[in-house]
Amino acid sequence: VSWFKNAKSRLNHHLSGLFGVSSLAWTGHLVHVAIPGSRGEYVRWNNFLDVLPHPQGLRPLFAGQWNLYAQNPDLSNHLFGTSQGAGTAILTLLGGFHPQTQSFNTRFTSID
């Protein structure tokens, strides 16, 4: 624990904890509030335990079938804030390498 007496190590320790927790909080907000909100289902304090981000809940997570979370993405005619054209996918990262720069291009379709 002697490294913890060093101010730089203590600062790095606390900043990494802060960034880690805030990243988890932001991810939770996107999955549990923003994506359902974009599909016309609004999550508030009185219903946040009743609204599931995915119809199957946590079963695919514990069964190792994460691909089920990516099935049925929003359609191209999806209107934000409505259920018209809305899918059920919560993991819909479409991307690949740019043909000229070889940089990684991403496009999230659930929160378009």
- Per-domain residue ranges of the chain: 2-108
pLDDT band at 62 (very low <50, low <70, confident <90, very high): very high
d(CA 74, CA 90): 10
DSSP codes of every residue in 52-91? -SSTTTTHHHHHT-GGGGGSSPPPTTPPTTSSTT----S-
Tens of pLDDT, residues 1-43: 676 688 888 899 899 999 999 999 998 898 889 889 888 888 9
Does 109 have pLDDT greater than 70?
Answer: no
Tens of pLDDT, residues 78-102: 888 898 989 898 877 666 667 777 7
One-letter amino acid of 16: S
What one-character DSSP code corresponds to residue 109? Answer: S
Q: Report the DSSP beta bridge partners of residue 107.
A: 94
69 within 8 A of 89, measured Cβ to Cβ: yes
Q: What's this model's pTM, rounded to 2 decimal places?
A: 0.67
